[in-house]
A = this chain, B = another copy of it.
Amino acid sequence: MARTKDPDPEVRRRILDVSLDLFATKGFAATGVQEIVTKAGVTKGALYHYFKSKDEILFEIYGRVFGHELESLQRIVAEGHDPVRTLRTIIVDLVSHTAAITKESAVFARGGHADSPHWQAMQEQWRRYQEGFRQVIRDGQDAGVFSSKASPEVASWSVFGFTNSMHTWYRPEGRKSPADIGEELADLILTGLQS
């Protein structure tokens, strides 16, 4: 192993940062490779040295979105609190996490690559998160603490829809912290679920 230059200095990082910005604002397909390298101050040779394709950059961005969120949900559930407290914690956690990765969330929201295996794996993980979330609601209904009138599906989609749209309106410099916003949403939904 002969080390020649910094193997992973910050070039790779800059390419990822710039790509994230462009994908989030213009969309993946509308962003050219030339545009990425120009803005990142590198050349195409560098980009294709670190990534084997433009798609691979996208997939690495995808990876950050639901990377740790599923295990975070499972950890909260494993703590074994009552459904109200469990669901509240999950919602605050989800809102906070989404606020921290607004750009990635925007890229994910635009979708695309419906046939690629990476995208499908992503969707599968997302689907499992939804399922875990809805199970908490069902547990609460079975325990009699949530009304059976509201369906877990509608309740969950109002939460996921909320977080999926955050990238269009949430600004870090705003008055409310992500945790505040999460608490407010939890108040609204939990009050709605307990009739």
Contacts and interface: CB of A to CB of B under 8 A. Distances in A.
- Main DSSP-derived SS at the A contact region: helix
Interface residues of A, number: 37
A26 interface: yes
A109 interface: yes
A25 B114 contact: yes
Interface in A161-195: 161-166, 169, 181, 184-185, 187-193, 195
6 contacts: A25-B114, A155-B188, A157-B169, A158-B185, A158-B188, A165-B165
Interface of A: 25-27, 29-30, 109-112, 114, 149-151, 154-155, 157-166, 169, 181, 184-185, 187-193, 195
